[in-house]
Amino acid sequence: MTDDSHADVLDNWRQVQSAVAEAEAAAGRAVGSVRVVAVGKTHPAARIHPLLAAGHRLFGENRVQEAAAKWPALKAEFPGVELHLIGPLQTNKVREAVALFDVIETVDRPKLAAALAEEMARSGRRPACYVEVNTGLEPQKAGVVPSDADAFIEECRDRWCLPLRGLMCIPPAEADPVPHFRCLAELGRRHALPVLSMGMSADYPAAVAAGATHLRIGTAIFGRRPAIG
Ligand SMILES: *Cc1c(COP(=O)(O)O)cnc(C)c1O
C-alpha cells in the first residue's frame, strides 16, 4: 500500500516531530513527553499507512462510520494501534464506538455518559474517556460549558464510573487559543486529570507551552483535507 506518492506524509511527520521537540524544550518539558494523535480523517488508508510503517501508533478520527471502514484492517496489520475518537458521538453509535476506539475524547453530556457506561458494562470493553469542554462557549460546538464542567466531571466519575483520564478542547477558530488552553489546564489540575488533549496544526506549540499531553494534528501531517469533512 505504501508508495512514493505519499512520501510527503513522512516528510511532514518529521517536521512535526522536530517542531514538537523544539516546543517541549522551550517549555522546559522532557523531549518526547507530549504525544501526537495523528488525525487521519478524510484521508484514505493508503496515506495513513506510511506513518504506521514508520512506527507511529497513535491516531484520531472524527467519525465513527469512517473509522469503522478504515481502521479494522489497519489495526489487524499493525498491532498496538491506539485509536481516538475526536468527533461528536451520537448515542446510537456508542456500541460501535466502544468496540472500535481505545479512547473517546468527546464525552460531553449526561445522556452520552450513561450510554457509554451501559455499553461498557455490557461489552466489558472500557475505552478511556476524556470530557470535551466548550471553552469558547460556542453554541454550534460540542462540549460541556466550563461552568457545568465540575459537576459533569464528577457525574462521569461518581455516578457512571467511566474510566475518565482527561479533558479535551477545541478553541474558537479566530481566537487566541492560549486562554482556552489555560482554562482546560486549570480544570485538569482541579480534578487531578492527567491528560490534556489540546493543540491542532495551527496552534500546537502554544498548547505544548500550556501543558498539553496530547496534540491532535491532521493538516500538518497529511496535508489539506478534501472539501468535505
Ligand atoms: C480535524 C480535527 C483536528 C485536526 O485539525 P488540523 O487543524 O487539521 O490539525 C483536531 N481535533 C479535532 C477535534 C478535529 O476534528
Alpha helices in 27-170 (DSSP H): 45-53, 64-77, 94-100, 110-123, 146-154
Atom in ligand 1 nearest the alpha carbon of residue 219: 8
As a whole number, the mean pLDDT across the chain is 96
Report whether 160 contacts 113 (CB < 8 A): yes
Q: 159 C-alpha vs ligand 1 centroid, how far in Å?
A: 31
Residue nearest to atom 13 of ligand 1 (CA): 86
Residue nearest to atom 7 of ligand 1 (CA): 201
Residue type at position 183: C
B/e letters for 181-205, b = 16+ CB within 10 Å, e = fewer, are bebbbebbeebebebbbbbbbebbb
Q: 193 C-alpha vs ligand 1 centroid, how far in Å?
A: 22
Residues with CB under 6 A from ligand 1: 39, 41, 62, 86-87, 170, 200-202, 216-220
pLDDT at residue number 2: 47
pLDDT at residue number 4: 61
Residue nearest to atom 10 of ligand 1 (CA): 216
Dihedral over alpha carbons 204, 150, 175, 221 (to 10 degrees)? 30
**pLDDT above 70 (res 1):** no
**Residue from 106, 140, 116, 114 nearest 37 by CA:** 106
Residues in the chain: 229
**4-222 belongs to CATH 3.30.379.10:** no
Atom in ligand 1 nearest the alpha carbon of residue 168: 13
Q: 5 C-alpha vs ligand 1 centroid, how far in Å?
A: 23
Report whether 195 contacts 213 (CB < 8 A): yes
- Residues 6 or more apart in contact with residue 91 via CB below 8 angstroms: 111, 112, 115
What are the tens digits of pLDDT across the range 86-138? Answer: 999 999 999 999 999 999 999 999 999 999 999 999 999 999 999 999 999 99
What are the tens digits of pLDDT across the range 163-199? Answer: 999 999 999 999 999 999 999 999 999 999 999 999 9
Confidence band for 7, pLDDT divided at 50, 70 and 90: confident
Residue nearest to atom 12 of ligand 1 (CA): 86
**Section 130-156 average pLDDT:** 97
Q: 158 C-alpha vs ligand 1 centroid, how far in Å?
A: 30
Q: Which long-range contacts (CB under 8 A, 24 or more apart) does 148-153 make?
A: 149/187, 150/187, 150/190, 150/191, 152/108, 152/109, 152/110, 152/113, 153/187, 153/191, 153/193
**Residue from 97, 165, 95 nearest 132 by CA:** 165
Q: 12 C-alpha vs ligand 1 centroid, how far in Å?
A: 16
Which residue did the predictor score with more confidence, 90 or 229?
Answer: 90
- Please report, in angstroms and rounded to a whole number, the separation of the first and last CA atoms in the chain: 23
